[in-house]
Chain A
């Protein structure tokens, strides 16, 4: 069995990895204070996966009592989406990023992020901002300290986690990374064309035996869709995103399907200056 690993990337960033968790951490500030922050992050990371695994069966079920602080954060992030099907696992990546960020941030750290496989927790002191690239969409999102968002997450059927929908990518800004993670999952699920012949689906447990999605059909292939199909699928995602935004669950969202993109809320989505 492999243990938690901490490495410094050549450019100085901290890389924490254990099992399925893969974190890239970066902080800005006085060098010794940043180093102290990285040291705190490493200490918190040690044993973190074990902490989650202790509650794993419960975390894979909807609506059960949770005990650990990370598990409870996951539970809080997914609770507003009930009674729709969602388990706390939909927020695991964001919640882990938040947890490590919270311990990493300390005196003298002006801004910082923890990126957990694309689900990102942000720390911004007043006047600071961070810019995030959305891979595949060739776009940038800049989050400023005066924005409400401190979490960014991306979900889609092509990603690591299985999706019930067909969105190529859904990127969400929310108050916390765990909330963004859960909402991205739900909006990506909503972008869908039930029964469409161009969409291949298989039971989740056939793809990954102990998936929290059980026998639910997950998307394994999407063929070319007509413009009308794309519009119809996107509008379902947009409707979900609008509802979540109205409920205060997200700040904004960008929904990508084939050649189309829809944006909900204020999203400073910039095309890059460089090709």
Chain B
């Protein structure tokens, strides 16, 4: 690690801290990011193109949370250029009200527990049963949810793991979510399943083996895609898949080409012709099954229905990662032989059509009551404004998906936020940036705190000495 050792003096306040690279000053609000003083809490601004004085609707989005938003945060933000170096929460939460208390004493800040992380793991490997507990360092932090096409979904965090269980459970849940949201690798285990290493934007590592490719489709879909390429080169093709195993001679895609019956018998639940469920158990073998020898799914070859000595068979997985070529001997037993070059290209084609396996991490949170109250005096109007699209919601400048329905529940791809954008508090809870952007007129119509709107000049005087923390953008044409 070769860091410039040069300390610089922060002139944001009279304390004039000397701050070394990567450190924050005494306030935790300003930091030295590679030789520049930047704000650790984003104050991002939007200028109004109509007014030459460039009035802005300010909104400091530094700490949002379900229970308690610093009520002085009334800045509208967009397009944060912030780098959020070594984000360490500052003690703003003291302004929060807790039921039954007049005040709060804290080690740090925010109580922001209503959030979770959705993880999409591109793999056909079996990670564990649906509903199985996912653990970090032995503590339950979430569960396995649905399997989607070529991917397994995990649902991690949430208020019940964060604050509903033991302190250790909450702490480890928070730590795992924070690491995932900040793009770090996290080791997880699935009860009755695999050990995983998950990192946003990287290939998942399942039981010590990095996943390479997503499957091109299920076994049936693979038959549909490649039947024509195999026709005339091989007598039978069986695409082995944990979900649906395909058999080309029986499949509609083979039939239309005039594929001849081969007397093949598949041990599994036949769905429609040429499509079989449950040929094996889920596992780490061929096509996400437990199979190490794919011939285990074959019954006896029936000579009355077309089986004959010398019949050629290609068995391949849905990623092309596993393949084998067989020829029936005199006893109609499939004997392995090397794959002919004529078939090699089709296997390579399957592989080529499989996208790289990645982990995708979405942060999901709900912006609740008092957060909105910090923005306007009539919180539900803000909710409706966000839901209608009049107010744009961003997280660290990144676009969010807003769930329809009540409240402001959003999801954001953590890789679209500035590095290190997420923080935590020992409550335990996560801290994520959030900005609401809307036109000044709309803001006032919502019941926005007019007195808290500052001019660009004022903001530039107070925060603009640290321009890396803000990026000015024009209002879209036609806005008030």
Contact = CB atoms under 8 A, between A and B. Distances in A.
Nearest to B97: A11
Contacts of A132: 101-105
B26 interface: yes
A209 B71 CA distance: 32
Given A15-B72, A272-B99, A22 B90 contact: yes
Contacts of B463: 2
B28 A160 contact: yes
B368 to A, nearest CB: 15
Interface in B109-168: 111, 137, 166-168
Q: Which 3 A-B pairs have the closest CB atoms?
A: A19-B13, A117-B91, A159-B107
B105 A152 contact: yes
A79 interface: no
A272 B67 CA distance: 16
Nearest to B465: A1
A210 interface: yes
A18 interface: yes
B90 A160 contact: yes
Interface string A26-52: 100000000000000000000001100
B426 interface: yes
A115 B26 contact: no
Contacts of B93: 135
Given A1-B14, A10-B377, A259-B166, A209 B107 contact: no
Contacts of B428: 136
B27 interface: yes
Nearest to A212: B26
B105 A209 contact: no
Interface stretch (B17-25, B183-191, B212-220): B17-25
Contacts of B17: 208-210
A154 B105 CA distance: 7
B95 A9 contact: yes
B104 A22 contact: no
Contacts of A26: 102-103
B479 interface: no
B436 to A, nearest CB: 16
A136 B426 contact: yes
Given A19-B15, A118-B91, A9 B103 contact: no
Interface residues of A, number: 56
B98 interface: yes
Contacts of B102: 26, 113, 130-132
Contacts of A18: 13-14
A19 B12 contact: yes
A53 interface: yes
Contacts of B296: none
A134 B23 contact: no
A198 interface: no
B462 interface: yes
Nearest to B101: A133
25 contacts: A7-B452, A11-B71, A17-B72, A19-B14, A22-B91, A49-B13, A49-B14, A53-B14, A116-B94, A117-B91, A131-B102, A132-B104, A135-B425, A136-B428, A155-B107, A159-B107, A159-B108, A160-B28, A160-B90, A160-B91, A207-B23, A208-B25, A224-B137, A259-B167, A274-B100
A24 B26 contact: no
B26 A20 contact: yes
A273 interface: yes
A140 B100 contact: yes
Contacts of B105: 115, 118-120, 132-135, 152-154, 171
Given A117-B94, A209-B20, A136 B71 contact: no
B106 interface: yes
B103 A113 contact: yes
A168 interface: yes
B95 A15 contact: yes
A56 B166 CA distance: 42
A209 B13 contact: no
Contacts of B290: none
